[in-house]
Structure 1
Amino acid sequence: MCVHLFGAASSPGCANFGLKQIASDYEGEFGSDIANFVRRDFYVDDGLTSLPSDKEAMSLISRCTEMLKKGGLRLHKFLSNSKSLLQHVAPEDRAKGFTDIDLLTDNLPLERALGVQWSIESDCFQFRITLSDKPFTRRGILATVNSVYDPLGFISPVVLVGKQILQSLCSDQVDWDSPIPDTLRSKWERWRSELAGLRNLEVKRCFKPEDFGTVVVTELHHFSDACVHGYGQCSYLRLVNDKQQVHCSLVIAKSRVAPLKIITIPRLELTTAVVSVKVSSLLQRELDLNNAVDYYWTDSKVVLGYIANDSRRFHVYVANRVQQIHNHSDVSKWNYVNTKENPADMASRGVSVSSLVNSATWFFWS
């Protein structure tokens, strides 16, 4: 065979290896920045990155196109929130739907970036969820909850409510295709109907506001919380400029239902703290933040006692999680936050769509 079969299990891996190999072969000729873009910012066959100016973006496009051309690949379907940059891209090389747009007068349409809806004109992420008609059964509820795609967890407190309803059906051992009990039917119908309100939600793609100036301090703040029905965490990027102005924005969040097997709240709080540590490692690796300092916050003094204790021996469950926290974080960076001021409280308890959209702290903690 001269080509890899479409649909074969090995084909995506081979194609990905070939793409990365081109970057390694021509790194010396085109520069390490282009090679790193291909290595780190390509997801299957889509490349996504952010650059501070049109000039740098155009340079990346031209050099990356030439590098991949040497490997027999054509880089095209370009898309940007900058109209002036798109004007420098040949119409046939723009993304579908952009070839016939008048960049001087027409508004840029809504597109998808790795499955996330991106309003290019406002440079915001949006959620326009279209639900298919599913039966009010355990199987239908599972399909509906899983159809809400939110990889960064922006609306995780809302999705948690749907997961809690599904968990209730699982704990009651409701059959997959039996109608759900009347006690949960009204709650499910209300949650399902509220999802349409997410179209009013817009999340700024860029962490740094326009005209913010020079950033002198970069911090990542991780909040964790747990309750009887769920646990969650949220991470914020805090920027301070040379005028001592501060801007905070939500980077990623996670909400999970509590296990059906009963676990004490302190242990659940400790589990959530471990999630914060794992998210911290992920963000440090993916965001390429220079000299960013991590801070961890919890409203559980028991967890802080676990972490600070270096003399007492704990049970295996606690000891393993405390060890993970010690291995990946500095004990001195763990702090206490009052429950009322902890934004992760929304991630652990779940909220309605209207409460999330109107929240003053979830997306911009300060």
Structure 2
Amino acid sequence: MEDRRWLQFVESGCRQMINGKYEIPLPMIEKPRIVPDSEPMVVKRLQQLKRKFKDDEHYRQYKQFIINLLEKGYAEGVPKCEVRNEQAWYVPYFGVRHPTKKDKVRVVFDCAARVNDLSLNDLLRQGPDINNLLLGVFLRFRLGLYACASDIETMYYQVKVPEDDRDCLRFLWWKDGHIGSDIVKLRMTSHPFGASCSPSIANYALKRVVQDHGSQFHKSVSEIVLNNFYVDDLLVSSDDINELIDNNNNNVIDLCSKGGFNLTKFNSNSLEVLKNLPKDKCSDSIEKFIEDEDVVQKTLGLDWSLGKDKMSISLNIDEIPRTKRELLAVIVLEGRVLLQNLFRNRIGWDCTLSERDKGQINVWMSRVNKFKLFSIDRCTKKGTTSKVESIECHIFVTLVN
């Protein structure tokens, strides 16, 4: 019932703008008559953030994030005539470091931050999970001899928020980005990373592109957009290289662009595929390919060796985790058991582990690191000379008590 209400609300409120982007209102459950004053909480969070900015690089990345939001139209200043608004909701934000790119910070809006035991996410309908199954996308990616992967540039931000809803997405920053200067009030014009409804709204908008514009393309192009995306990642494969170039790539780029979605960072196990794409659409792998170097790219959390066309698990466990939190970051299989033991012993998230626990983890790490030596062919038909009539997939799992 909730999902049906969400869908009815979004369908009735969705409109396509002149620039092609979709505008979808915030799916509010019910706006409270009296909105708690969230601005003091966000001011306090901003001051806490200020103390972290002793690291100049940390500050530079946050500042560039805000600049990008404003320059690309994903956010705007609150008009002076609208600054006083008792119905406005202020949202803090925080940085999340990429597990494999330690120098990169992704800034997330904390829509779960509570004021008077109420958060913005409490007021939003999350919406149904209309994303494709990860397993299905990955298995289809393994079917064709030639493969290509790409992603949508800042997918959530391509879906706009109506002006009437933007004051629910206010945030604070310093004037001109200078710490210590006056605090200015800004607001999102796009759906933010961190709102509980953003994933469903972005997925709905992508599928709406097919509904509104798919008839202009071959049916197979629409099917790719509907079935081969996992969130913002597109994975396509085909036995026909020309089909992959013309139908699966260029036409899919055109269809996605009808909704303001920009496909970029293309990778492929075929140099010919990459050469037939606009250069600004390709990742830097094309340059390394030309130089005959093997290129390894991240694809759905796995390492894809483009030259060898093999998939492997990337594990970088060089040091023994010192805390329960660090162990969670590298958890797999037997590591679950080790983590559960720490829970049973009520070890705090950031407490230093005992020598006994470290010893058990060290033994486990030596076995886990052997995964680095294991890889599989990306294509299930690689090495076959006859026509493949059927493919079976056998999956084994283990239950940990």
Equivalence map 1:1-366=2 (5 Å)? 1=162, 3-7=189-193, 9=195, 10-59=197-246, 60-95=248-283, 97-98=284-285, 100-101=287-288, 103=290, 105-131=291-317, 133=319, 136-137=322-323, 139-140=324-325, 143-148=326-331, 159-174=332-347, 180=353, 183-220=356-393, 236=394, 252-258=395-401
- Counterparts of 2:335 and 2:292, CA distance in 1: 39
Match of residue 331 from structure 1? none
| Paired residue type of 2:330 | S
Change (3 A) 1:70 1:136: closer
Aligned partner of 1:107: which letter? Answer: E
Describe the shift of the 1:212–1:255 C-alpha distance in structure 2 as closer, same or farther (beyond 3 A): farther
In 2 relative to 1, CA 173–52 (structure 1 residues): closer, same or farther, beyond 3 Å? same
Alpha-carbon deviations, 1:232-271, whole Å to 9, x = none? xxxx2xxxxxxxxxxxxxxx4433312xxxxxxxxxxxxx
SS of the residue aligned with 1:76? strand
Unaligned runs of 5+ in 1: 149-158, 221-235, 237-251, 259-366
Give 1:135 shift.
Answer: 5.1
Change in Cα spacing, 1:13 to 1:172, as seen in structure 2 (3 Å) is: closer
Cα pair 2:311 2:378 within 8 Å, conserved: yes
Structure 1 pair 14–162 and aligned structure 2 pair: CA distance change class (3 A): closer
Query: Aligned pair in 2 of structure 1 residues 196, 26: CA closer, same or farther (>3 Å)?
Result: same
Deviation at 1:81, TM superposition (A): 0.5
Q: Percent identity?
A: 25
CA distance in 2: counterparts of 1:185 and 1:144, whole angstroms: 10
The 1-side partners of 2:366 and 2:230 are apart by: 33
Measured after TM superposition, the shift of residue 61 of structure 1 is 1.1
Contact 1:160-1:256 within 8 A present in 2 as well: no
Unmatched 5+ stretches in structure 2: 1-161, 164-188
Give me the whole-angstrom Cα distance separating, in 2, the residues matched to 1:135 and 1:79: 33
Q: Which residue of 2 aligns with 1:286?
A: none
Please identify, of 47-56 and 187-196, the stretch whose mean Cα deviation from structure 2 is larger. 187-196
Give the aligned CA root-mean-square deviation in angstroms: 2.7
Q: Distance in 2 between matches of 1:36 and 1:173?
A: 49
3-state SS, counterpart of residue 308 of structure 2: coil
Q: Distance in 2 between matches of 1:102 and 1:184?
A: 45
1:57 positional shift = 0.2
- For the residue of structure 2 that corresponds to 1:255, the secondary structure is coil
Q: Secondary structure at the match of 1:79?
A: strand
**How big is the shift at 1:173?**
4.6
Q: Structure 1 counterpart of 2:249, which letter? A: I
Q: Distance in 1 between matches of 2:344 and 2:306?
A: 43
Q: CA deviation at 1:55?
A: 0.7
Cα deviation for residue 94 of structure 1 reads 0.5
Q: Deviations over 1:138-162 (max 9, x none)?
A: x25xx324425xxxxxxxxxx3222
Q: Which amino acid aligns with 2:372?
A: R
Q: Distance in 2 between matches of 1:218 and 1:128?
A: 26
Q: Report what 1:310 is aligned to.
A: none
Task: Indicate how the Cα distance of structure 1 residues 165 and 87 shifts in structure 2: closer, same or farther if over 3 A, else same.
Answer: same
Partners of 1:131 and 1:144 within 8 A in 2: no
- The amino acid across from 2:309 in the alignment is D
Question: Is the 8 Å Cα contact of residues 321 and 327 (structure 2) preserved in structure 1?
Answer: no
Cα distance change of structure 1 residues 27 and 6 upon mapping to structure 2, 3 Å threshold: same
- What letter matches 1:67 in structure 2? L
- TM-aligned CA distance change 1:100 to 1:173, over 3 Å: closer
Q: In structure 2, what is the Cα distance between the partners aligned to 1:35 and 1:189? A: 49
Name 1:271's counterpart in structure 2.
none
